[in-house]
Amino acid sequence: METINELIYYYSQNGGYVWEQFYRHFLMAAYGVLFAAIIGIPLGILIARYKKLSPWVLSLANIIQTIPALAMLAVLMLVMGLGTNTVVFALFLYSLLPIIKNTYTGINNVDQALLESGKAMGMTKFQVLRMVELPLAMAVIMAGLRTALVITIGIATIGTFMGSGGLGDIIIRGTNATDGTAIILAGAIPTALMAVIADLVMGWFERKLSPYKKRKTQIHTENAAA
């Protein structure tokens, strides 16, 4: 009970600060995923086209994924020094695997018959990609972004050791303080909340982008009635 009171007290005293860190934390994760999407989606399409490349690219992304987050940050620090950029770069690396893999799977899973009829109707290769492959793979690609975003929100917490700020700062302050339970929670709860919300929002987008759309029957009947 006392912890909860302390927690509420902490928020009431440091609301602005927590919000600032929350925002910063989210931006780091989002930028990591954004850059990874810029590189990863075209790369995924490329390896779906040239299948011989796919084992190389996918194993490389897999290896990156297996490196422990702290070790990765430490190594990157040696090269890039301290600061937010180092953290964003690490998040970028962690996002690559889910994004490349899902793009690759999504494009590969498009029904062969659809590709054939697209080609036979006289689509150029680019038109097949734009009008058939990408729309049909979009839900799967979106699922990759969703996984990547949830992972990066978690890992961004450790970014505090590189001096990047974010909600990790609050958690570490709590661990350093005597009786810091409330402060740890003050940092941990928003982090978890952010991950859950990101997952829900991205899941909504994923469903929206599913190719198997339902006709909006209700709107139609309303129009007919009016």
Partner 1 sequence: MLKFDHVSKVYKGGKKAVNDLTLEFEKGEFICFIGPSGCGKTTTMKMINRLIEPTEGSIYINGENIMDKDPVQLRREIGYVIQQIGLLPHMNIQENISLVLKLLKWPEEKRRARALELLDLVDLTPDYLEKFPHELSGGQQQRIGVLRALAADQPLILMDEPFGALDPITRDSLQEEFKKLQKKLNKTIVFVTHDMDEALKLADRIVIMRDGQLVQCDTPDEILRNPADEFVEEFIGKDRLVQARPNIQTVEQIMNPKPITVTGERFLTEAIQIMKEKRVDSLLVVNEFNVLQGYIDVELIDQKRKKATKVSDIVEPVTTVEAGTLVRDTIRSILKKGMKYVPVVDHQQRLIGIVTRANLVDIVYDSIWGEDEITA
The residues binding partner 1 (CB under 8 A) are: 111, 113-114, 116-124, 127, 131-132, 135-136, 211-215, 220
Give the burial string for 78-89 (b: 16+ CB within 10 Å, else e).
eeeeeebebbbb
- Unique residue bearing structure tokens 């049909």: 136
Closest approach, Cβ 93 to partner 1, in A, equals: 32
Q: Are 82 and 43 in contact (CB under 8 A)?
A: no
| Between 207 and 215, CB nearer to partner 1 | 215
For partner 1, the closer CB: 131 or 201: 131
Q: How far is the CB of 125 from partner 1 (least distance, A)?
A: 9
Q: How many CA atoms lie within 13 A of 83 on its CB side?
A: 5
Give least dist CB 103 to partner 1, A: 17
CB of 38 to partner 1, least distance (A): 24
119 or 173: CB nearest partner 1: 119
CA distance 43 to 108: 13
Q: Which is nearer to partner 1, 121 or 193 (CB)?
A: 121
Place of tokens 């007290």: 9
Alpha helices in the chain (DSSP H): 2-49, 54-66, 69-80, 84-108, 112-120, 125-128, 134-155, 167-176, 181-208, 217-225
For the chain, the straight-line distance linking the first and the last C-alpha, in angstroms and rounded, comes to: 57
User: 68 or 213: whose CB is closer to partner 1?
Assistant: 213
**Shortest distance, position 114 Cβ to partner 1, whole Å:** 5
What totals of helices (H) and strands (E) does the chain contain, helices first?
10, 0
Which residue, 52 or 214, is less far from partner 1 as judged by CB?
Answer: 214
Query: Which residue has tokens 């972004």?
Result: 145
Spatial CB neighbours of 65, under 8 Å, sequence gap ≥ 6: 94, 97
Cβ 224 to partner 1, closest distance in Å?
Answer: 10
